[in-house]
Amino acid sequence: MSLRADDAGRRGQIVRESARLFREKGYDGTSVRDIAAATGLQSGSWVYHFRTKQEILAAVMEEGLQQALERIEAIGREGLSPREHFRALLRTHLDTLLGPGQDFIPVLLYEWRSLEPEARPRIVALQRRYEAAWDGVIGELQRSGEWAQPTSVDRLMMFGALNWIAHWYRTAGPLDVAQLTREAERFCLRTPPSDAERRPQRRSARRAAR
């Protein structure tokens, strides 16, 4: 491995471990010593890659948005129907929020106020690119009538509901990401459940009535 590749690998490790620590302990609750210990670095040697803990926080948020952008922009090149495109975006968004080791976007959601104003414009620019990828699909669904009763704040309300899932979701709980994707699609588009989905609900209702 070249020195440059080794440096990039070490930098990536700092960002990943910092994201985990910021999510678990909060930005203010995480010290630079915690980061050094988690990455196996000697205290102070992380400054070779980042000058301050604030720079690490900004890098965590940028990394999460860059990864998410790559995934959803790739979906946009697949030529899917609006409904399929929307479903794929939902699945990817929930994977980014809830998947194993996916700490970057939750840190963005929880620790935005901890980010100094000087670092915010480049994060906001990435957020706008991310949101723009959704706007076109939502617009197509609204125009086709598949998005029932559209409003001027559909995207804002949708992201509010989706992002809140990170607060209550538990990996050991009864729902997995695939199920949440189906439920989110139904919630956003007000789609009635299929016959196959109704059967388990009927059985559950009959058992509960006994």
94-117 confidence digits (pLDDT tens) = 999 998 889 999 999 999 999 999
Q: Given pLDDT bands bounded at 50, 70 and 90, which one contains residue 199?
A: low
In this prediction the pTM is 0.82
Domains of the chain: 53-209 (1.10.357.10)
Residues 6+ apart with CB under 8 A from 181: 87, 90, 91, 94
Q: Given pLDDT bands bounded at 50, 70 and 90, which one contains residue 193?
A: low
* DSSP-assigned letters across all residues of 110-151: HSGGGS-GGGHHHHHHHHHHHHHHHHHHHHHHHHHT-SSS--
d(CA 81, CA 87): 10
pLDDT at 2: 47
Question: Residue 161 in contact with residue 169, Cβ under 8 Å?
Answer: no
Which structure tokens are listed for 26?
A: 């909060």
Task: Please write the tens of the pLDDT for every residue from 111-151.
Answer: 999 999 999 999 999 999 999 999 999 999 999 999 988 88
